[in-house]
Structure 1
Amino acid sequence: MDWQSRVDAVWADVGLTDDERIAAIDALASELPAADARGLFERAGAHDAAGAEAEAEPLYRAALEAGLDEERRPQAVIQLASTLRNLGRSDEAVALLRTEIDREPASPLRDEAAAFLSLALATGGDALGAASVALLTLVPHLRRYRGAVTRYAEDLAASRG
């Protein structure tokens, strides 16, 4: 079984405790060079999922700096932003997520980034901004009322003061 399949198997094992998952992911990551972005990303995720955001943050940053592929990079940005929000740093999360959403070519997880942007805005006290982002992200998925929802969402954003 290849390395990623073994990592996926650890994540799929619902019987593992947080500590067991961290240990298993750390062991798999140790098979790679210490600065390998994939290993750093998986280690960050394991700590993050266990509620150890303070330990996850530097690992996410190191993984992004080491250079993740286009499948993992947007995941790492979103997960880092979520971690920052949970650590009480919503402004940093908002900045990271806005950059991801504005990225060209478009991030494959643009809508997911917008969902976490909405959470970060709400946590930071900008409920109208959060609602606007969420609604504007939803608009392309609506079968009807796209124009009305777009206008209302833009009005919410404009009324934020």
Structure 2
Amino acid sequence: MNGWEKRVAAVWADAGGRPEADVESAIEALVAERPAEDAVAVFELAGVRDYVGREAEAEPLYRRALDLGLGEPHRGQAVIQLASTVRNLGRPEEALTLLREQFAGHPEHPLADAATAFAALALADTGAEREALAAALRALAPHLPAYSRAVTAYADDLLG
């Protein structure tokens, strides 16, 4: 992590104790230090727009950061955050597509469980509550050593 990224991380680490406008101003100032084509800076700007509840402004910024070639670990975060944003904008099917394209077949990805959580929310929004619950339970099961097998079986039972 370079010095700029450390300063960004410090703003986010302190965000809960600051007014949203102060967090937004601090991130905007840091983003202004970077070139316009810096994918990480664009991602951070998208994140702060999302943080202050301006999802419609965040969406194109997330897409731009991804188009600029945003790499890991930020890429996985950006896809999850974009999926959450489009879900909040009333497009849960699109959220599911984004998450599946990035994470399907990659259970080893460090954010796979987080992606599943956001997919479960989108599934519930589409009316597929049982599928959403099954997905969440399957993601949770490996973290339950004493009950992993039982929770997995119950998740399977939900889907028939």
Would the TM-score normalized by the shorter structure come out above 0.5? yes
Q: 1:102 maps to which residue?
A: 104
Aligned pair partner of 1:113 in 112, 115, 136: 115
Give the gaps of 5 or more residues in structure 2: none
Q: 1:146 maps to which residue?
A: 148
Counterpart Cα distance in 2 of 1:148 and 1:5: 42
Counterpart Cα distance in 2 of 1:79 and 1:157: 28
Which portions of structure 1, spanning 4 or more consecutive aligned residues, are displaced by more than 4 angstroms? none
Q: Equivalent residues in 2 for 1:23-102 (5 A)? A: 23-102=25-104
What is the percentage of aligned positions where both structures have the same residue? 54
TM-score by length of 2: 0.89
CA RMSD of aligned residues (A): 1.8
Give the gaps of 5 or more residues in structure 1: none
Which 10-residue stretch deviates more, 19-28 or 129-138?
19-28
TM-score by length of 1: 0.89
> Structure 1, residues 51-92: CA drift from partner, whole Å, max 9, x if none?
100000011111111112211111111111111111111001
Q: 2:6 maps to which residue?
A: 5
SS in structure 2 at match of 1:138? helix
Counterpart Cα distance in 1 of 2:71 and 2:134: 31
Q: Is the 8 Å Cα contact of residues 25 and 42 (structure 1) preserved in structure 2?
A: yes
Q: Equivalent residues in 2 for 1:125-144 (5 A)? A: 125-144=127-146
